[in-house]
Amino acid sequence: MNNIYSVISNEKIAYKTYKMILYGDTSKIKAPGQFINIKIDNEKTFLRRPISICDYDSKTITIIYKVFGEGTKILSTKKMFDDLDILGPLGNGFAINKKAKKQMIIGGGVGIPPLYSVAKKLHEENIEFDVVLGYNSKVDVFFEGMFRALGANVYVTTMDGSCGYKGNVLNVIRSKNLYFDYYYACGPRKMLHALVKEDYTGQLSFEERMGCGFGACMGCSHPTTDDSYKRICKEGPVLESFEVVI
Amino acid sequence: MKLNVELPGMKLDNPIIPASGTFGFGYEFSEFYDINILGTLSFKGTTLEERFGNKTPRIAESTSGMLNAIGLQNPGVDAVISNELVKLKKVFNKKVIANIGGSYEEDYIEAVKRISKSDIVGAIELNISCPNVKEGGLLFGTNKESAAKLTRLIREVTDLPLYVKLSPNVTNIKEIALAVEEAGADAISMINTLVGMRIDLKTGKPVLANTYGGFSGPAIKPVALKMVHEVYSVVNIPIIGMGGIMNAYDVIEMMYAGASAVQVGTANLIDPYACKKIIEDLPRVMKELNINDLKEIVGRAHL
C-alpha cells in the first residue's frame, strides 16, 4: 500500500492546474474516485497531500491538481523519473449505479478529475449520461474534450461567463432543464451542499483536511444524517446524497 | 541484544508503543503489518459517552509538525469494549494501555471502572492533558491539586497500573508529576501536545475550526526531551516518553532523557509503517551506539 511511484510526466493543462502521470502499482484500485496520499519530501509540508485518482490503467495513475499552497507548488516542480512516496489507493470511491437510466456527472474545478474515471465506467457500461463542468473562468477549463470523447453531452459553465454558460453548475442544470435520475458530483463544498438541497439522488465526493488519510487520526470525520459519522478518508470521500448533513 | 523493557504491570518485548489518538484501536493498522511486533499500544482516547469531537477542519500542519483539534472523538466506553476491543483482540495478543479522557471526575471514574473489566487492558493511561475539549481534560492537568485529586479518585476504583499522561502546557511540570506520583500514579506518560494555532493568510482566519489545537511532530522533540529529563530527576516512577519520535535514534535519545518506554504518535500518521520500521531498525542503531541492553540506558543523560 505504501509504494514508490515514478513521475512519467507533469504538465500544466490550465491556470495553475497540472496533470501528472505516475508509473507504479495500480492493482489495488477498486473504484473511480479513490485517492492517493502523496508524501512531498519537505519539512514545510509535513503531512501527505491527498489527491484523487483521475484515471488509471494497469501501470499508470493520472492525477490532476491545482497549485494552492506549498505542497502542490513543490509537486508542480517534479520531473520525469522523480520518485514519489505514495500511500494508496485510499477511500471508498464511487459505486456505479446500473439501474438509473439517465445519469449526470457534475464537477466543479479541481473536483472534476475523479469524475473522469466515473465517466469512463458509465461509458463502458453503456449508461447514458451528460456532463456539467463548472469553472471560475476560461483559463481554468480543462478536460472538457476528454468527456466529449466519451460521447457525452458536455455543458461547460464559468462563473464569469468567459467560456460556455455563465454561472454555476446548478444554474445550467436549471436553465437548460437538464433531466437526470442519478448523479455523481465532486467540487467545492458550497456546490455539493447546494446539490444536496435539491431533489436529486446521487453520490458526492468531499474534500477535507486530513492527518493520515487511512482512518487513524479521526481528523476528517463528517457527521451523517443517521446521527453517526463517516471519515472522509476511509468511509468516504464519496457519500450518498441522503447521508450528507448540511 | 536486549530490547525488552518493563513498565508497571507490563513486560514489553521492546519499548515501542503507538501513542493514543494516532493508532485508532490498533486493528486498523493490522492491514499494514502484524501489530504483535509492538511493545504494546495505547488506544484512542475513550470517554464514558460517545463524542463526535470538534468541527472540521481539525487538522493543520506546520514546519516539521502538525496541529490537531479532534476533540476526543470516540464511540464511548461501552462500544469500545463491545466492538473495538473485540476487533483488536483478534489481531493483537498482548495487553494494551487504555487511554481514558473525560470532562468531569464522575465520568473519568465510571469509564475507568468499566474499561478495567476488559481482559485485554493491562494499564490505564489517564488523559488529563487533552487540549481540545472545552471542559475537563487539560483543566485537570494544569493544576497540581486537581491532577492529584483525580489521580487519587481513579487509584481507588481500579486495580490496574495507573499511568497519568501529562500536559506540557504548564508552568512547572515537575510539580504536577510529583503531585500525581504522590497521589498513587504508577507511571507518567509525557508529553501530550503543545497548544498552538495556524492562520490562513488569504482569509486571515484560523485554519482550525476550533481556533487552537495540539501541536505535535518532530518540531516538539526538544521540548519533550527537556521535560522528560526534568521529571526524571524528581520522580521515582517510570516515565513513558513521547513527543516527536520519528525513528530509532529518537527512541534512544528519549530513553537517555529518562524514558523507560517510548510512545510514537504523529509518525504513524505520515507513515503507517513507522513503528514497524523503528522496531526493525532499533538493533542496528543499538549496535552503532554500543548499546546492548535498552534498560541500562534509561536516564543516561543524568549521569
pLDDT score of A100? 96
Catalytic residue among B35, B85, B130, B282: B130
Which of B23, B153, B25 lies closest to B81 in space, CA to CA? B25
Chain B residue closest in CA terms to A224:
B52
Q: How far is A225 from chain B (nearest CA, A)?
A: 13
Task: Compute the distance between CA of residue B77 and CA of residue B46 in angstroms, rounded to an integer.
Answer: 6
Give the closest-approach CA distance of B56 to chain A in angstroms.
7
Q: 3-state DSSP: chain A helix, strand, coil percent, rounded to 5?
A: 20, 35, 45
3-state secondary structure of B256: helix
Q: Which domains, from first to last, does chain A contain? A: 2-90 (2.40.30.10), 102-205 (3.40.50.80)
CA distance B260 to chain A (A): 26
A57 burial (CB, 10 Å; 0-12 / 13-18 / 19+) is exposed
Suggest the residue from B42, B52, B132, B198 to mutate for an interface test with chain A (most A CBs closer than 10 A).
B52
CB contacts of A41 in chain B (<8 Å) are none
B275 has catalytic annotation: no
In this structure, what C-alpha cell is assigned to residue B70?
Answer: 479532534
By Cβ distance, the residue of B59, B217, B269 closest to A209 is B59
Euclidean distance between CA atoms A62 and A74, whole angstroms = 17
Mean predicted confidence (pLDDT) in B23-41 = 97
Q: Mind telling me how many Å the CA of A97 is from chain B's nearest CA?
A: 29
Angle of CA points B81, B142, B102, to nearest 5°? 20
Rg (CA), chain B: 18
Cell numbers 475550526 correspond to what residue?
B209
In the prediction, which pLDDT does B129 show? Answer: 84
pLDDT on residue B25:
97
Instruction: Dump pLDDT digits (tens) for B219-250.
Output: 999 999 999 999 999 999 999 999 999 999 99
Percent of chain B past pLDDT 70, that is, above it, reads 99
pLDDT, tens digit (0-9, with 9 covering 90-100), for B248-270: 999 999 999 999 999 999 999 99
Residue A1: the pLDDT is 56
Residue B287: DSSP 8-state: H
The three cell numbers of residue B207 are 485554519
ipTM value of the model? 0.91
Q: Are A212 and B70 a contacting pair at CB < 8 A?
A: no
Report which of residues B205 and B140 the model is more confident about.
B205
Chains A, B: CB contacts within 8 A come to 85
Q: Is B288 left (phi over 0), alpha (psi -120 to 50) or beta?
A: alpha
Residue of B nearest to A234 (CA): B28
> In angstroms, what separates the C-alpha of B270 from chain A's closest C-alpha?
6
What are the chain B neighbours of A39 within 8 Å (beta carbons)?
270-271
CB B72 within 8 A of CB B138: no
Give the pLDDT score at B140.
85
- pLDDT for position B136: 64
Which pLDDT tens digit goes with each residue over A204-238?
A: 999 999 999 999 999 999 999 999 999 999 999 99
Q: CA-to-CA distance for A219 and B55, rounded, in angstroms? A: 10
Segment B56-85 mean pLDDT: 96
Substitution target in B35, B47, B50, B61 with the highest count of A β-carbons within 10 Å is B61
For residue B244 the three cell numbers come to 516527536
Q: Check CB contact of A72 with chain B, cutoff 8 Å.
A: no
Q: What is the pLDDT of residue A2?
A: 62
The pLDDT-based confidence of B135 (bands split at 50, 70, 90) is low
CATH number attached to the domain at B5-302: 3.20.20.70
Interface contact B66, partner A, CB < 8 A: yes
Residue B288 has pLDDT above 80, yes or no: yes
Q: Is the dihedral of CA A187, A188, A193, A194 positive or negative?
A: negative
Q: How would you class A155 by CB atoms within 10 Å of its CB: exposed for 0-12, middle for 13-18, buried for 19 or more? A: buried
- Between chains, do B44 and A218 touch, taking CB under 8 Å as contact? yes
pLDDT of amino acid A42 = 67
What pLDDT tens digit does each residue of chain A (246 aa) get? Answer: 568 999 999 999 999 999 999 999 999 999 999 999 999 976 779 999 999 999 999 999 999 999 998 999 999 999 999 999 999 999 999 999 999 999 999 999 999 999 999 999 999 999 999 999 999 999 999 999 999 999 999 999 999 999 999 999 999 999 999 999 999 999 999 999 999 999 899 999 999 999 999 999 999 999 999 999 999 999 999 999 999 998
Structural domain boundaries of chain B? 5-302
Give the pLDDT band (50/70/90) at residue B130.
confident
Pick among B33, B50, B56, B277 to test the A interface (most A CBs inside 10 A): B56
Q: How confident is the model at residue B5 (pLDDT cuts 50, 70, 90)?
A: very high
> pLDDT value at position A242?
97
Question: Please, what's the largest Cα pairwise distance for chain B?
Answer: 55
Spatial contact of B286 and B1, defined as CB atoms under 8 Å apart: yes
Angle at B186 between CA B43 and CA B263, to 5 degrees: 35
The pLDDT, as a whole number, for residue B303 is: 78
What amino acid occupies position A100? A
Q: What end-to-end distance do the CA atoms of chain A give, in Å?
A: 33
Q: Using the 8-state DSSP alphabet, how is residue A162 labeled?
A: S
Does the pLDDT of residue B19 top 70, yes or no? yes
Q: Please, which residues 210-239 of chain A have a Cβ atom closer than 8 Å to chain B? A: 210-212, 214-223, 229
Interval B145-199: pLDDT, tens: 999 999 999 999 999 999 999 999 999 999 999 999 999 999 999 999 999 999 9
Distance CA A229, CA A221 (A): 6
Q: Any CB–CB contact under 8 A between B68 and chain A?
A: yes
Residue B271 touches partner A, C-beta closer than 8 Å: yes
pLDDT of residue B132: 74
Q: How confident is the model at residue B138 (pLDDT cuts 50, 70, 90)?
A: confident
Say whether A218 and B70 touch across the interface (CB within 8 A). Answer: yes
Q: CB–CB of A211 and B66 under 8 A?
A: yes
